[in-house]
């Protein structure tokens, strides 16, 4: 029987960060992943010799001295990452139907203000107020600043609503919309999404914005290497079927019938899925009602386009588009007006700096739009046809999305070699969630405390990690991983080690 110090269920970024940190601090770690490929949303796949990302299109705060850089350096992966910094004057461009301008979100706070002043010359005060508030909020999150602190520091800002805040700093409606223009990054909902979510994410990209050259799966590959160097093991194609024990966890039962024991257990799964496979009533009672009252963020429809060679220039920025003047409306689409928004990402490839070989176009899609096919299951190891009507549905949606994209990128259809589509069902089946939600539990400024999930559970040796804890995204999940590890190792010492790794 296999026995570890720590068993980690799921090899998403959260599980891999915990596995690396705990391995580096003397724990023998075993990670169990249901898929063939590790990494969860870090996975890439290849079509027509082209790498396609499933959940990493750009990453913030990766310049020396910035938070993610410091953590990745401690984890020993920073030097080997192949990165390309996005355009300093515009990591994101925001566009609206019927408006010929595109608005630029730049890196560096001074430059951010400078670029927007070109389009909003009267709005210097509003832009300064905006940047000051973003920085103030980020300063209140201790671990985001790689220091210790407590919940009380941020208590007075958790209730601030993003939409209301943007309305309060200016009467210029266009500027309000531009500042919310990339809210697909956090599936923003007007009058719901807390300002701290907008701030923590936006700040990281204003600090610095990067693409992974040849895909985000390199992060998983490098963490895998570190985990093994520290004696850890990752078992692929190994689904955990049950977390067993009454007052504390005794073992996990794998789908293949094997029992794995450990002193501690960390679940990288959505809390609802964790509860579903946990035997103990202690956990069930603690989470049952709470989870029923929490919404997950919306799902996505991802159109991945493999391009004909040398036809589409590499864009060193991301483009966010809104079909109406209201950047918050995209999430409220109807069958008739879908899609109301999209983000377009050109993938960075080492093969060619001038032209890109693939594009990802991302928009929203609710699980109920694909619920008709909910009884199907399809991954690369369990290949099942969801049926001709599903294929026709995807094609019809892809063509509708392309009709909108074509208005901005007029030659796009001529450049397409082939396209591949992911829907909320694809994310449900690969990530093991109930509804293929993009970013997990949706945060709500009206009850921020309720939407904070702690790493500690009522079972003394079961902990949670991943995007449902504090913040989604590569930065958010990495910090959540540290928070989880802080339950087993001294946080002050861990932060000191991160600091040391960055001065050597």
Give the nearest distance from C-beta 214 to ligand FAD in angstroms.
Answer: 15
Q: What's the token pair of residue 413?
A: 């259809």
**Residue whose tokens read 């009850």:** 447
Residue with smaller CB distance to ligand FAD, 91 or 390: 91
**Residue whose tokens read 């599936």:** 187
Residue with smaller CB distance to ligand FAD, 439 or 463: 439
CA 130 to each of CA 136, 141, 166, 199: distance values in angstroms, whole numbers, following the listed order: 10, 18, 8, 10
Angle between helices 13-24 and 67-75 (to 10 degrees): 60
Give the nearest distance from C-beta 134 to ligand FAD in angstroms.
Answer: 17
388: left (phi over 0), alpha (psi -120 to 50) or beta: alpha
Give the nearest distance from C-beta 440 to ligand FAD in angstroms.
Answer: 7
Residue with smaller CB distance to ligand FAD, 38 or 180: 38
Give the nearest distance from C-beta 429 to ligand FAD in angstroms.
Answer: 9
Give the nearest distance from C-beta 176 to ligand FAD in angstroms.
Answer: 24
Q: Where does this chain bind ligand FAD (CB under 6 A)?
A: 9-15, 32-35, 40-42, 55-59, 239-240, 268-269, 273, 300, 302, 362, 427, 431-432, 438-439, 466-467, 472-474, 477
CA 20 to each of CA 24, 119, 194, 280, 431: distance values in angstroms, whole numbers, following the listed order: 6, 45, 31, 28, 21
Distance CA(365)–CA(184), nearest Å, equals: 12
Give the residue from 4, 58, 71, 15 showing the smallest Cα distance to 38: 15
Give the nearest distance from C-beta 34 to ligand FAD in angstroms.
Answer: 4
Distance CA(271)–CA(254), nearest Å, equals: 19
Residue with smaller CB distance to ligand FAD, 58 or 312: 58
Please, are residues 266 and 7 in contact by the beta-carbon 8 Å criterion? yes
Please list the residues that pair with 361 across neighbouring strands.
303, 344
Element (H or E) spanning 420, and its range? strand 416-422
Give the nearest distance from C-beta 54 to ligand FAD in angstroms.
Answer: 7
Residue with smaller CB distance to ligand FAD, 170 or 224: 224
Give the residue from 84, 35, 1 showing the smallest Cα distance to 430: 35
**Residue whose tokens read 């993610």:** 68
Q: What number of H helices and E strands is found in the chain?
A: 16, 19
Residue with smaller CB distance to ligand FAD, 301 or 393: 301
Give the nearest distance from C-beta 258 to ligand FAD in angstroms.
Answer: 13
Give the nearest distance from C-beta 455 to ligand FAD in angstroms.
Answer: 12
Give the nearest distance from C-beta 283 to ligand FAD in angstroms.
Answer: 15
Strand pairing of 50-53 and 44-47?
Answer: antiparallel
**Residue whose tokens read 């697909």:** 184
Q: What 3-state class would DSSP assign to 384?
A: coil
Please list the residues that pair with 103 across neighbouring strands.
94
Q: State the alpha helices, DSSP H only, in 158-216.
A: 162-169, 173-179, 195-207
Residue with smaller CB distance to ligand FAD, 95 or 216: 216
Give the nearest distance from C-beta 171 to ligand FAD in angstroms.
Answer: 32
DSSP state of 407: H
Give the residue from 416, 317, 316, 421 showing the smallest Cα distance to 357: 416
Element (H or E) spanning 363, and its range? strand 358-365
Residue with smaller CB distance to ligand FAD, 59 or 442: 59
Residue with smaller CB distance to ligand FAD, 118 or 456: 456
Distance CA(409)–CA(395), nearest Å, equals: 19
């Amino acid at each position: 029987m296999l026995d570890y110090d720590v068993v980690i269920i799921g090899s998403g970024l959260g599980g891999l960060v915990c596995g690396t940190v705990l391995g580096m601090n003397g724990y023998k770690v075993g990670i169990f992943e249901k898929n063939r490929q590790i990494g969860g949303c870090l996975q890439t796949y290849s079509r027509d010799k082209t790498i396609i990302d499933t959940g990493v299109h750009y990453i913030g705060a990766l310049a020396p001295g910035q938070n993610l850089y410091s953590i990745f350096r401690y984890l020993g992966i920073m030097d080997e990452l192949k990165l390309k910094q996005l355009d300093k004057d515009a990591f994101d461009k925001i566009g609206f139907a019927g408006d010929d301008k595109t608005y630029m979100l730049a890196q560096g706070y001074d430059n951010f203000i400078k670029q927007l002043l070109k389009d909003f010359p009267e709005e210097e005060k509003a832009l300064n107020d905006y940047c000051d508030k973003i920085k103030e909020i980020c300063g209140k999150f201790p671990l985001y600043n790689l220091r210790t602190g407590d919940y009380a520091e941020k208590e007075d800002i958790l209730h601030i609503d993003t939409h209301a805040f943007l309305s309060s700093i200016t009467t210029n409606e266009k500027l309000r919309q531009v500042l919310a223009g990339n809210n697909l990054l956090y599936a923003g909902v007007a009058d719901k999404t807390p300002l701290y979510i907008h701030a923590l994410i936006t700040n990281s990209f204003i600090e610095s914005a990067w693409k992974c050259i040849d895909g985000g799966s390199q992060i998983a590959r490098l963490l895998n290497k570190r985990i093994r160097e520290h004696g850890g093991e990752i078992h692929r194609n190994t689904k955990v079927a049950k977390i067993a024990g009454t007052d504390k966890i005794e073992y996990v039962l794998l789908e293949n019938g094997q029992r794995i024991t450990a002193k501690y257990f960390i679940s990288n799964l959505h809390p609802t899925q964790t509860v579903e496979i946990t035997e103990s009533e202690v956990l069930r009672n603690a989470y049952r009602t709470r989870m029923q009252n929490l919404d997950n963020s919306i799902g996505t429809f991802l159109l991945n386009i493999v391009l004909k060679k040398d036809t589409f220039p590499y864009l060193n920025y991301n483009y966010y588009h809104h079909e109406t003047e209201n950047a918050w409306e995209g999430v409220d689409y109807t069958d008739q007006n879908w899609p109301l928004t999209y983000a377009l990402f050109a993938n960075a490839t080492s093969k060619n700096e001038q032209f890109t070989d693939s594009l990802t176009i991302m928009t929203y899609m609710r699980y109920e739009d694909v619920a008709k096919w909910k009884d199907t299951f399809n991954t690369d190891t369990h290949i099942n046809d969801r049926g001709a009507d599903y294929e026709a549905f995807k094609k019809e949606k892809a063509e509708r999305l392309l009709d909108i994209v074509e208005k901005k990128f007029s030659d796009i259809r001529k450049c397409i070699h082939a396209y591949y589509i992911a829907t909320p069902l694809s994310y449900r089946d690969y990530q093991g969630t109930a509804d293929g939600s993009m970013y997990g539990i949706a945060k709500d400024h009206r009850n921020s405390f309720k939407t904070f999930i702690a790493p500690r559970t009522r079972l003394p040796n079961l902990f949670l990690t991943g995007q449902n804890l504090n913040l989604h995204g590569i930065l958010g999940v990495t910090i959540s991983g540290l928070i989880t590890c802080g339950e087993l190792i001294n946080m002050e010492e861990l932060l000191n080690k991160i600091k040391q790794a960055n001065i050597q």
